Chain A
Amino acid sequence: MMEPLHFLLDETRGWVEDPDSPADSEPTEDPIAKLAEALNPKLRIDLRAETEEQVVALDSFDWRLFQAGLELTAGDGRSRIQTTSRSPRKEAVDLTAETEQLPTFVNDLPSGKLREVITPVIGQRRLLPMASFRRRRLSMRFLDLRDKTVVRGYLESVSIEGQKKPLGRRLTLIPVRGYKRPFNDVRKAVVSALNPTVTEQSVSFLACTASGRPPGGYTTRLDLQLHGEMRADLGLRLVHGRLLDIIEENLYGARESLDTEFLHDLRVALRRSRTALSQVRGVYPQVTVDHFKGELRWLFRRIGPLRDLDVFLEALPEYRALVAPDSTRDLDPLQDFLEARRHAEQQTVRDLLSGRRTRQILGSWRHFLDSELPTSGGPPMARTPLGRVARIDIARLWKRVLHRGTRIDRATPDPALHELRVEIKKLRYLLEFFHSVLPPEVREFSKSLKRLQSTLGNFVDTVVQQRHVEQFATEMAMDGSASPQTLLAMGQLIPQFEARRIEERGHFEERFADLSTSENRDRMDKILADIQPR
Chain B
Amino acid sequence: MKTLATYSIKGGVGKTATAVNLAYLAAAQQGARVLLWDLDPQAAASYYFRVKPKLKGGVRKLVAGKTDLGDQIKGTDFEGLDILPGDFSYRHLDLDLDGLGKPEKRLRSLLEPLAEQYDYVLFDCPPSISIVSESVFRAADALIVPVIPTPLSIRTLTQLRKHLKKSKVDVTLLPFYCMVDRRKSLHRELLEQPEQSKLKMLETSIPYSTWVERMGLERAPLAEFARATEAARSYRELWWEIWERVATTAS
Contacts and interface: CB of A to CB of B under 8 A. Distances in A.
Interface stretch (B70-78, B102-110, B152-160): B70-78
Interface string A117-153: 0000000000000000000000001000011110010
Interface residues of B, number: 11
Nearest to B35: A177
A176 B75 contact: yes
A374 interface: no
Interface of B is mostly: loop
A175 B51 CA distance: 15
Contacts of A178: 72-75, 82
B50 interface: yes
B77 A179 contact: no
Interface string B61-89: 00000000000111111010010000000
A175 B79 CA distance: 11
Given A148-B77, A149-B77, A177 B51 contact: no
A1 to B, nearest CB: 9
21 contacts: A146-B50, A147-B50, A147-B219, A148-B50, A148-B51, A149-B50, A149-B75, A149-B76, A149-B77, A152-B79, A175-B75, A176-B74, A176-B75, A176-B76, A177-B73, A177-B74, A177-B82, A178-B72, A178-B73, A179-B74, A179-B75
A457 B168 CA distance: 64
A148 B78 CA distance: 11
A167 B219 CA distance: 40
Given A149-B77, A176-B75, A177-B74, 17 more contacts: A146-B50, A147-B50, A147-B219, A148-B50, A148-B51, A148-B77, A149-B75, A149-B76, A152-B79, A176-B74, A176-B76, A177-B73, A177-B75, A177-B82, A178-B72, A178-B75, A179-B75
Contacts of A179: 74-75
Interface string B140-183: 00000000000000000000000000000000000000000000
Interface of B: 50-51, 72-77, 79, 82, 219
B52 to A, nearest CB: 8
Interface in A145-180: 146-149, 152, 175-179
Contacts of A146: 50
Nearest to B79: A152
A146 to B, nearest CB: 6
A178 to B, nearest CB: 4
Contacts of A175: 75
Query: Which 8 pairs between the two chains have the least Cβ-Cβ distance?
Result: A178-B74, A176-B75, A177-B75, A149-B77, A148-B50, A177-B82, A146-B50, A177-B73
Most A CB contacts (10 A, CB to CB) among B51, B77, B82, B219 go to: B77
A274 to B, nearest CB: 53
A152 B78 CA distance: 10
A395 B142 CA distance: 72
Most A CB contacts (10 A, CB to CB) among B50, B74, B75, B76 go to: B75
B22 to A, nearest CB: 20
Interface in A185-207: none
Nearest to B116: A91
Contacts of B77: 141, 148-149
Contacts of B74: 176-179
Contacts of A148: 50-51, 77
A143 to B, nearest CB: 9
A176 to B, nearest CB: 4
Nearest to B31: A94
A384 B133 CA distance: 85
Nearest to B82: A177
B68 to A, nearest CB: 12
Nearest to A91: B116
A147 B218 CA distance: 11
A141 B75 CA distance: 13
Most B CB contacts (10 A, CB to CB) among A141, A146, A176 go to: A176
Nearest to B72: A178
A148 B219 CA distance: 10
Interface string A417-446: 000000000000000000000000000000
Nearest to B71: A178
A54 to B, nearest CB: 24
Contacts of B219: 147
B5 to A, nearest CB: 22
A152 B73 CA distance: 17
A473 B12 CA distance: 83
Contacts of B72: 178
A141 B50 CA distance: 14
Contacts of B76: 149, 176
Most B CB contacts (10 A, CB to CB) among A152, A176, A178, A179 go to: A178
A78 to B, nearest CB: 15
Contacts of A147: 50, 219
A406 B100 CA distance: 73
A178 B72 CA distance: 7
